[in-house]
Structure formats: C-alpha cells, structure tokens
Structure 1
Amino acid sequence: MRFVVGLLFLLVILQSAFNSSFALAETSGAETSLIADTGGSWAGKRSLIIEPGFQYTHNSSNRIDLTGLTLPGLVIGLIQVEKVRRDILTPSVSLRFGVSEFFQINLKVPYLYRSDKFTNRPGEPQIPSQHNTVNDHALGDIEGGILFHLLKETPSRPQVIAGLKAKSRTGRDPYGLARQMATPGTQIPAELPTGTGHWALEPYVTVLKVADPAVLFANLGYFYHMERTIDGIGKVDPSDSVNLSFGIGYALNDKLALSTAFEQKIYTRAKVDGRKLAETDPVVATLLLGATYAFSPRTAMNLTLGVGLTEDSPDMQVSINFPIRFSF
C-alpha cells in the first residue's frame, strides 16, 4: 500500500511538472550545501555539476545489535555488545545534470571506510573489559534520482521542487557477515556492512522562498525500504522513515554564503515475517551548519557540520564537497 501511494504521488508530480519552472541559482547567491542536500539545488539547462566530496561520521553508543538491522549511520535491535565507537569516512562522487529548465537527473556513488571499536564488559569483576577493533571498506549503496520544478516563485508564493530518489543495494549486506569471538558467549563482526541490503525509494517535496539575501527552505519526504527474503532469517521489512528538514541560507557577499538547518527522521518499526521488532524505531534529529565559498562562477567549496540532538543520532558529521559546473 505504501508503495502504491508513492507511485500515485509521483504521477501527480509528473503531471504538474510541465506547468512552470524556475532556478534558484538565478535568483540568489545563498545556495549552499544544505539546500543542495534537500533537493533544492538546480544545475540549470544543459549543465552538468560534478561534485567530489568526503563525509566523516562519528557515533558512540552503549549498545549495539550484531544480528540487527543496519540503517545509515546506526545499527538497531537487541543488545549484545555494551559499547561501540564507529567512525565512517565516505568519499563520494555526485553528478547533477540539468536536462531542461524543469527536469534534472542526479547520481551519487559512495565508498565507505569503516572502523568499529567494540568494548565488552563481562558481568564478572575479575574478568577485564575486552576491546576489539574491526576495520573494513567497500562500495556503498549507489543513489540516483530525478528532480522537477513544479511551481515558479512569485511575490506571494514559494518555489516548489519535487523529486524521487532511488537507493540501490550495491553496498555490502548486513546479513550473513563473518563473525569472531570477543568474549565467551559474545561475538563481534569480522567484517562490516557498507549498505542496508535493501532497495529503497524516497519521494519528496522541497519548498524555497527567496528573501534577498536569504533563502528559506523546507523539505518533506518518505523513505521506503523494500522488503526482502533473507535465508535463515525470513522476510525482512526494514524501517521506513518520514524525513523532515527546514532552514535558512543567507549570502554574506557574492563569494560566501552560510546556512542553518534542522533535520529529523522518524522511523517505523522493522518487521521480520510480519512481526514488528522492538527498539527498531529510532528518532534521529540533527542540527546542521553549512558554509559555501565560491572560488569562481564554475567552482565552489561546501562545508557542513552536523551535530546529533537525540541518543539515536550520530554524534557528529562533517562533510566537504567541491561542486564543479560545466555548461553545454
């Protein structure tokens, strides 16, 4: 049913997309990495943006499930290990191609380097704590998507952009990974996942309103994970999520722009063979601070800092991107 609703939503988008078009880059210098992340960045007609980037994520938790479900940046499920510190470095290459004034194609290819440090404290005081580190790297889940301009901004209404994002499962699955003994009765991974193991779709809408020299923006989407039958586990339906973000970007001059945003993801419970799993519905909230410096009309640098606001959120995220524009 959720998938049907998403398809109906996309059909409405396709029907409305031909009504009008408008490009944010032509109206304000306040376009920043946060606006691009929410789907509000427009390459322009017959333009290609190539964006190499790096993201570093750090997360520490007092509990982790080695047989649970992996979501971006966290693992949820039953408790087996008392504490884990996870560091993830993700170099990536993103492409944004403006086919026309109202239609754009996006693609992102990530590669993950992970280092997980596990600490297990046995219940018996005479047994010391065990510390183990697992390092791994592999291709992540490749993402692609399309963007449409639905409404042109006027003095009385904002600009509206709609999109559909698809996530593959090219990364290493979290299922069936090799394990090793940490302490008697407790195992830790010998290899680490770099993907969720499931295809996913996210229809979303982005709203922007220019108030020179600032841009107000908001984004609402629904991230739908497709279920999959896993040998030895059953039919797994991972958590879906409602994704909401809003913020402001403001240009200090023709070279430098800053932005501030709030992002929240509310997850549903995961299911195995129709059974809902406890502790698989985290609420992730992040405060985002961004800055963009334009080296030239063709090149820029985007820097974003994310700070987790809930226990389920990654503690810190830092990303840096270098968009390069080509026109044809």
Structure 2
Amino acid sequence: MGVRGLAWLAIISLVSAGQVYAEESSVEQAREALSKKDDDADSAKALEEVFQAAEQSYTLLKKGERTLTYGFDYSLTRDMAIQTVRVAENNGTSVYSVIGQSEAQHSFTNAFTFDYGVWDNLTFSVRLPLIAKYDTERDLDVYSIGDLSTSLRWQPWNSVRGKPVTTFYANLGLPTGESPYDINLDRDLSTGNGYYSLGLGANVSHILDPVVLFGSFGYAYNAPIKDVDQVRGGRLLEEVHPGGTFSLSMGFAYALSYDVSLATSYQMAHSLKPKFRFADVSGEGNEQTSAVMNFSLGLRTSPDRIVNVNAGFGLTEDSPDVLLGFSMPLDIKGLKAR
C-alpha cells in the first residue's frame, strides 16, 4: 500500500456505499417514507443524522456533547517486492533475472474515536487505533498500537436549509506506531508511518432530500525523519523526507427510510516524491497514487444508534486490494453531557 498511516487514518473513517439504480416506483416509495408526518421528525434532519453517522469527519457536536465510536477495519494488500537483480552472461549476452519476494499483508484495525464539542461550531476528536497485522507469505505478524491522531473541525457559517454546509479541518498525526524505519525489514512489520504529519482541508455537504452529496479536499505535510540508521538495499539510510500528500474524496448518501441508508464514495490520495539520504549517496522515490471505492449500508438499530457496514476495493497498485469494516457508537454511562 503506497499511502499508509493515519494521516489517512486521521483524515480519515469514511462514507462508503454503492450506486443505487432504482425504478421510479422505488424512488417514490423512498420519498414517501421520508416525507414528514405529524409524529415524525423533519426528514432532512433524519437524513443528516444518517449521513453524520456514516461519515464522522463531517459531524459537528453541540457544545459539551461527547461521543465515543468504535470502528473495525480489515484490509488486504498484495505486492511483489524486488529483492535483488542478478546478471549472468550467456554467450556474450547479458541475462537479467529479478528475484522478488511476494507479500500478502492482512491488517486488522480496532479504532476508538472520541469526539467533544468545544463550541457549537468546533469539534475536537482523537483517534486511537489498535492494529494486528499478518504477512502470510513471509510468516510475520505484529500486534501494536497504530499512529494516534487528533483533529479539529470548524464550521464558520451557520447551516441554512437548501444550501451547502462547509466545514474546515486540521489533523495532527503522531508516530506512536511501529515505525518502518525502526524495524528489521526481514523479520518485523510496521504499524505506523514513522513521522509527524499536519493536514488541512475542507469538507462540503449538501442535502437534496433524500440524498446527501459530499466532497472534501486537503493537503498533509509530512515531517522529515532524521537519524534513521537503517540498512536498506545494502546502504545505510540516514534521513528520510516524506513527500506531501494531496487528498480528494466525493460521494453521496441515499436514505431509503429513517432506518436504512446506502452510500458510495471515491477517495484518492497522491503523495509527492520522497527523498532519501544514505551515508554515501542521496536519491528520491516515486510519486504514489492511492484510489479506493467504498460502499456502505447504514442501519438504525435504535433511536440514537446507527451501525454502518462497509466494503471497498483499491483502484491502483498503491491501494489495498480489499477493504471491509463496520462502525458503531458506544454508549458508556457518564459519557454524555448532563
């Protein structure tokens, strides 16, 4: 996977769902289910609740409100890592043979996200991931904390019905996981990026009953890593300058009723070329692009609980091959504001 860690993990717990092709009668039934009745809440508000439960990065809490969300994610990444290149002479002709190492990494992430409403238009969040990772091809495994991330989400303008809602965010990623630059590459696996990151961006959402359209754009600065002291490719790696990352996402959520919703989203990240300084030479890596399609189903299991189940797949070589997950709010006594 080309873009790892929680800049993505911080930027990110995402809206996922599939495109819905429905006949006209099905659409009318959905609209009727969402229409306001004497004993119902406003349909737009109900749709917004479904949307916010599916995509936490768009949610703002009232002042003093607190929520705790549990999310489980699974990803599979298959790759072929080149180990050595051998050159042999055959009747005066050079023959090149590539020796590769197959990788199949299974990652299981249990994440707890705590959100707190500082003001009505400012929400603070912190995310703690616990990661178990297996490489079935090389028979390696690791169980450790991932990269801790914090974020602030700010809505500068009041929400006006019928108009888009814009929020701005700032993310801070901390290298609390197992760094790929501190491990033995032959017998260890990493659970983090190994560097600090700071991300800024904006989210936009718009309700068109019974649909919510949404999108976001952001940039993350990844801090340099010094004093690495790790052998890679037969050379001593001393310093790494990760490239910055641009991110983009878009999609929509469709509410079939107050209790069931479907959504789909496209997410992409483009990382600029990283630079490496070895003991005897300097060089740079390649730019990487990760793109993922996600699909999700939201089910309201109680008046204040919505459970989301999602599935997705990667679209580029730098993306995970398979993505699965679910999220749900945790009701802990004493957590809610009085």
Q: Which amino acid aligns with 2:318?
A: D
User: Which residue in 2 is equivalent to 1:72?
Assistant: none
Q: Which amino acid aligns with 1:133?
A: D
Q: CA deviation at 1:26?
A: 7.0
**What is the rounded CA distance, in whole Å, between the counterparts of 1:172 and 1:211 in structure 2?**
44
Structure-to-structure mapping, 1:1-328, within 5 angstroms: 28-31=48-51, 34-36=54-56, 39-63=57-81, 81-118=100-137, 132-154=138-160, 157-178=163-184, 189-232=186-229, 233-273=237-277, 275-279=282-286, 281-324=287-330, 326-328=336-338
Q: CA deviation at 1:47?
A: 1.5
**What is the rounded CA distance, in whole Å, between the counterparts of 1:198 and 1:245 in structure 2?**
24
CA distances 1:249-307 after superposition (whole Å, capped 9, x unpaired): 1111111111111111111010124955233x111111111121122232221112121
Residues 35 and 217 in structure 1, CA contact (< 8 A), matched pair in contact too: no
Q: Which amino acid aligns with 1:288?
A: N
**What is the rounded CA distance, in whole Å, between the counterparts of 1:284 and 1:32 in structure 2?**
25
Change (3 A) 1:155 1:270: same
Q: CA deviation at 1:34?
A: 4.9
Change (3 A) 1:26 1:230: farther
Q: CA deviation at 1:35?
A: 2.6
Q: CA deviation at 1:175?
A: 1.6
**What is the rounded CA distance, in whole Å, between the counterparts of 2:284 and 2:241 in structure 1?**
10
**What is the rounded CA distance, in whole Å, between the counterparts of 2:150 and 2:171 in structure 1?**
6
2:170 match: secondary structure: strand
CA distances 1:100-127 after superposition (whole Å, capped 9, x unpaired): 2101010100011010133xxxxxxxxx
CA distances 1:126-157 after superposition (whole Å, capped 9, x unpaired): xxxxxx31011111100111110023344664
**What is the rounded CA distance, in whole Å, between the counterparts of 2:328 and 2:47 in structure 1?**
21
Aligned length: 268
- Which structure 2 residue ranges, 5 or more long, are not aligned? 1-43, 85-97, 230-236
**What is the rounded CA distance, in whole Å, between the counterparts of 1:50 and 1:85 in structure 2?**
32
Q: Which amino acid aligns with 1:277?
A: E
Please, what is the CA RMSD of the aligned residues? Answer: 2.4
Q: CA deviation at 1:165?
A: 0.7
Q: CA deviation at 1:25?
A: 5.7
- Which structure 1 residue ranges, 5 or more long, are not aligned? 1-23, 67-78, 119-131, 180-188
Q: CA deviation at 1:98?
A: 1.4
2:319 match: secondary structure: coil
TM-score (norm 2): 0.73
Residues 92 and 108 in structure 1, CA contact (< 8 A), matched pair in contact too: yes
CA distances 1:85-109 after superposition (whole Å, capped 9, x unpaired): 1100011111111122101010100
**What is the rounded CA distance, in whole Å, between the counterparts of 1:267 and 1:251 in structure 2?**
34
Q: Which amino acid aligns with 1:190?
A: R
**What is the rounded CA distance, in whole Å, between the counterparts of 2:99 and 2:274 in structure 1?**
18
